[in-house]
Amino acid sequence: EVQLVESGGGLVQPGGSLKLSCAVSGFTFSGSDMHWVRQASGKGLEWVGRIRGKGNSDATAYAASLKGRFTISRDDSKNTAYLHINSLKTEDTAVYYCNGRYGDSTEEFDYWGRGTLVTVSS
Amino acid sequence: QSVLTQPPSASGTPGQRVTISCSGSRSNIGGPYVSWYQQLPGTAPKLLIYRHTQRPSGVPDRFSGSKSGTSASLAISGLRSEDEGDYYCAAWDDSLSGRVFGGGTKLTVL
Residues A63-111: tens digit of each pLDDT: 998 878 999 999 999 999 999 999 999 999 999 999 999 988 888 999 9
pLDDT at A58: 64
Q: Which of A61, A99, A110 sits opposite B98 (nearest CB)?
A: A61
Residue B98 has its nearest CB partner, among A45, A47, A112, at A47
pLDDT at position B5: 98
Strand order in the sheet with A70-75: A3-7, A18-25, A80-85, A70-75
Q: Is A62 on the interface with B (CB under 8 A)?
A: yes
**Interface touch A44/B102, C-beta < 8 Å:** yes
Cβ separation of B102 and A114 shorter than 8 Å?
no
- Contact B76/B83 with Cβ under 8 angstroms? yes
Q: Which of B43, B88, B98 sits opposite A63 (nearest CB)?
A: B98
Mutate which of B35, B48, B92, B99 to disrupt the A interface (most A C-beta within 10 Å)? Answer: B99
Q: At B83, give phi and psi (nearest 5°).
A: -80, -5
Rounded to a whole number of angstroms, the distance from the CA of A37 to the nearest CA of chain B is 10
A18-71 per-position pLDDT tens digit: 999 999 999 999 999 999 999 999 999 999 999 999 877 668 999 998 878 999
Q: What share of chain B is helix, strand, coil (3-state, %, to 5)?
A: 5, 50, 45
Inter-chain contact A44–B88, Cβ cutoff 8 Å?
yes
